[in-house]
Amino acid sequence: MTSTTNYLNADYGIWSWLLTKDHKRIAILYLVSITFMFVLGGLFALMLRLELLTPAGDLLAADTYNKFFTMHGIIMVFFFLVPSIPAVLGNFLIPMMIGARDLAFPRLNLASWYIYIFGAAFTLYAVFTGGVDTGWTFYTPYSTAVANTKVIPAALGIFISGFSSILTGLNFIVTIHRMRAPGLTWFRLPLFIWAHYATSIIFILGTPVIAITVLLLAVERSFHFGIFDPALGGDPILFQHLFWFYSHPAVYIMILPSMGIISELVTCFSRKVIFGYGFIAISSLAIAVLSFLVWGHHLFLSGQSVYASLIFSVLSFLVAIPSAVKVFNWTATLYKGSVEFAAPMIYALGFIGLFTIGGLTGLFLATLGFDVHVHDTYFVVAHFHYIMVGGALMGYLGGIHFWWPKISGRMYPEWPARIGATIIFLGFNLTFFPQFIAGYLGMPRRYHMYPPEFQVLNVMSTAGATILGVGYLLPLTYLLWSLRYGKIAPANPWGATGLEWQTPSPPPTENFAVTPIVTEEAYAYSTMREPEYV
């Protein structure tokens, strides 16, 4: 491709990748690993949707179905969504955005990837040697006393990969504190950095709790210590408290980095400074803090005291405010902008729509009297997919497209990408919107068979999932195609602000030939000269 040396052609051979300390190469290692996990998790989802095409349990055996939804959940949550944006785009971009050569601890960064792979290996061992059927939530006493599937290897996989998250979070926090370029003050940082800073706090504070929880689960299952099983003197609700103490904040691990991406995309493709920078930055931290105080809304029907439920309900409403603030600010940024509907922008606008629906339906679930009816139904399934897929995944794909020229040195083909983004948006809505109705009608989640009156909605869902599947195959195909046939990318194809665009595409191993000096705020599009490509 180019005659100059960059991080991709600086060295060749398998060991130059497996022993690399370059954050950009480690990001590529993560990209390949999580894409594999996404495809695997997606295949499980496909089988689930095919089974649900008819009310009878005719395609998969009940046990198989239960294993498939469990493994879909475990793989997608712990091995795709949680690492996705931080470990790929965060890893690649945080040093570049702050004008650093690498993360603070490059070896630790490589170790994080190996730990992730080691954890994934345990979980994949569980998947391919019989599977696990507890649901990704591992509720006790089913998981410790009854299930006779591969619970321990799956749980250990989560335990191990958690350390990868903790170390990544630690690395990011130290890097953001210590390695910013001269002049890059806190309130000049791109909002992507603020979002990752908030995410890293959750990584560090939340992940140890899930590690302890799955360890206790493994101890009870293996040695019959009475911790959660009432037959052994334990408390099954204690498990739910511990599990959700991490797993609710984990949702914000998924959505916060995605919000960071949206701030980058909306500003770049409306060529305008972000509206309400400070409010968006602080709302990320507010979300990170509040996310730790709302876990009890998963226990409204567990027998938790009414008073506890009232407190958790009101706190859950509070977390909606900083999320709403972000949505309003992104919308206001468009005002008097110069909006270009490039593929990343279609993802960003799609994100705003889907996240709004996901967030508003979260209010339904925080409303105690209404939650009683739709708790554990498809309403909840629809809600969290709007957040985790409609939100987190749309942001991830938007980000991958936006920074693809920087990562690969090639442009992706614009029209297939626009079509792909539109197909994903439409397919997603057709898949998950009917599930809100199914849930309100009373269809419980995790049902292998269902009463025939729910069939129409399920057929719509499966049809949508098929479209969504095609939508995902498109970027997978053309992005790979572009590696060889895509146009050579200039340093700054979008005319974007941000230090990562001031270095060649792909960047040299050391990122910057000279350490950049920052003299202005983020997103100074108003004062920027006319981009070359116009």
Partner 1 sequence: MLERLGLMPPQASTVAGQVDLLYAFLIVVSAFFSLLIAGAVIGLSIKYRRRPGEFVRTPHIHGSTALEIAWSIIPFGITMIMFFWGAHLFVTLKRPPDNALQVNVVGRQWMWKVQHLEGRREINELHVPLGRPVKVTLTSEDVIHSFYVPAFRIKQDAVPGRYTTTWFEATKIGSYHLFCAEYCGTVHSGMIGQVVVMDPADYQAWLAGESRSGATAGAGGAASAGASGAMSVTATGEGLFGQLGCATCHRNEGGALGPSLAGLVGKSVALEGGTTVTADDDYLRESILTPQAKVVAGYKPVMPTFKGQVSEEQILALISYIKSLGALPAPAGAGQAGTIGSDAGERKTDL
The conformational region for residue 338 under phi > 0 = left, psi -120 to 50 = alpha, else beta, is beta
Query: Considering beta carbons, is residue 9 or 302 the nearer one to partner 1?
Result: 302
Q: Which one among 47, 215, 238, 360 touches partner 1, defined by CB under 8 A? A: 360
Residue 248's closest CA among 143, 355, 366?
366
User: Which residue from 313, 431, 458, 462 is in contact with partner 1, where contact means CB under 8 A?
Assistant: 313
Q: Kindly report the backbone phi and psi dihedral angles of residue 140, in degrees, each rounded to the nearest multiple of 5, phi listed first.
A: -90, 160
User: Is the Cβ of residue 125 or residue 447 nearer to partner 1 in the bound state?
Assistant: 447
The mark string for 326-345 relative to partner 1 (x by CB under 8 A, - otherwise) is -xxx-xx-xxxxxxxx----
Q: Which of 367, 422, 466, 502 binds partner 1 (CB under 8 A)?
A: 367
Q: Between 203 and 450, whose beta carbon lies closer to partner 1?
A: 450
Handedness of CA 309, 312, 317, 318 (dihedral sign): positive
Cβ count within 10 A of residue 301: 11
- Under the criterion CB under 8 A, does residue 378 sit at the interface with partner 1? no
Comparison of 25 and 383: residue with beta carbon closer to partner 1: 383
The answer, yes or no, to whether the previous bond of 141 is cis (omega within 30 of 0) is: yes
CA atoms in the 13 A half-sphere facing the CB of 471: 24
- 263 to 302: interface string for partner 1, x by CB under 8 A: -------xxxx-xxxxx--------------------xxx
Complex with partner 1: residue 3 or 526, whichever CB lies closer: 526
Helix 62-74 / helix 23-51 crossing angle, nearest 10 deg: 150
Q: Residue written as tokens 């170390």?
A: 167
The region of 108-116, 287-295, 448-456, 509-517 touching partner 1 under the rule CB under 8 A is 448-456
Least Å distance, CB 41 to partner 1, is: 18
- Torsion from C-alpha of 302, 308, 310, 312, nearest 10 degrees: -90
Residues that contact partner 1, how many (by CB under 8 A): 96
Residue 15 binding partner 1, by CB under 8 A: no
Residues 194-253 that bind partner 1 (CB under 8 A): 230-231, 233, 235-237
Q: Residue 415 interacts with partner 1 (CB under 8 A)?
A: no
Q: Does the protein bind partner 1 through residue 18 (CB under 8 A)? A: no
Task: Report how far residue 87's alpha carbon sits from residue 28's, in angstroms, rounded to the nearest whole number.
Answer: 9
Task: Select the residue interacting with partner 1 from 19, 219, 308, 321 (CB under 8 A).
Answer: 321
Answer for the pair 397, 322: CB distance below 8 angstroms, yes or no. Answer: no
Cβ–Cβ under 8 Å, residues 295 and 241: yes
* Start-to-end Cα distance in the chain: 24
Answer yes or no whether residue 159 interacts with partner 1 by CB under 8 A: no
Q: Which of 517, 487, 496 is nearest to 414 (CA)?
A: 487
Selected from 96, 156, 256, 349, the binder of partner 1 by CB under 8 A is 349
Q: Closest distance between partner 1 and the C-beta of residue 108, in Å? A: 37
Q: Does 435 bind partner 1 (CB under 8 A)?
A: no
Rounded CA gap, 449 and 52, in Å? 7
CA–CA distance, 506 with 521 (Å, rounded to integer): 25
Shortest Å, Cβ 524 to partner 1: 8
Residue 504: φ, ψ to 5°: -60, 160
Treating both helix axes as pointing N-terminal to C-terminal, what angle do 414-441 and 455-485 enclose, rounded to 10 degrees?
Answer: 160
Contact between residue 510 and residue 101 where contact means Cβ atoms under 8 Å apart: yes
Which residues in 57-86 contact partner 1 (CB under 8 A)? 57, 62-63, 66
Stretch that binds partner 1, among 42-50, 94-102, 363-371, 463-471 (CB under 8 A): 363-371
Cβ closer to partner 1: 208 or 531? Answer: 531
- Pick between residue 13 and residue 369 the one whose CB is nearest to partner 1: 369
For 441-467, b/e burial (b = at least 16 CB within 10 A) is eebebebbebeeebeebbebbbbbbbb
Stretch that binds partner 1, among 314-322, 405-413, 467-475, 483-491 (CB under 8 A): 314-322
In whole angstroms, the minimum distance from the beta carbon of 350 to partner 1 comes to 10
Among 308, 372, 476, 480, binds partner 1 (CB under 8 A): 372
By CB under 8 A, name the one of 161, 168, 247, 361 that touches partner 1. 361
Select 437 or 491, whichever has its Cβ closest to partner 1.
437
Q: CA 385 to CA 202: how far, in whole Å?
A: 21
Identify whether the C-beta of residue 81 lies closer than 8 Å to the C-beta of residue 388. yes
Comparison of 19 and 311: residue with beta carbon closer to partner 1: 311
Q: Which of residues 455-494 bind partner 1 (CB under 8 A)?
A: 456
